[in-house]
Structure 1
């Protein structure tokens, strides 16, 4: 869960400091993927923590 949050934060930092748009070589395509994967990882981590607290 923490890794997902860190990925989203760093992706947001790169997106905020990028000079051009998609296709300009600034890595914005990778930023979009990193933020999406970070969001999914955070959601799955939260789900796992919630389920583990219920069962054990």
Structure 2
């Protein structure tokens, strides 16, 4: 989950520094997709961790 948080920060950094908009080849679309995938993965990892602690 820590690596996921770091990946979100890097995705935001890429999105903030990309010149141009979507379709210009600067990685803006990839940054958005990566942030979405990492957020979903981090949420699922947190749920799995919570469930494993509950079931013992």
Q: TM-score, normalised by structure 2?
A: 0.89
Is there any run of 5+ residues in structure 2 with no aligned partner, and where? none
Tell me, in whole angstroms, the C-alpha distance in 2 between the residues paired with 1:3 and 1:41: 11
Please identify runs of 4+ aligned residues in structure 1 that moved more than 4 A: none
Q: TM-score, normalised by structure 1?
A: 0.89
Which structure exhibits the higher relative contact order, with contacts defined as CA atoms closer than 8 Å and separated by 6 or more residues?
A: 1
What residue is the counterpart of 1:49 in the other structure? 49
Is there any run of 5+ residues in structure 1 with no aligned partner, and where? none
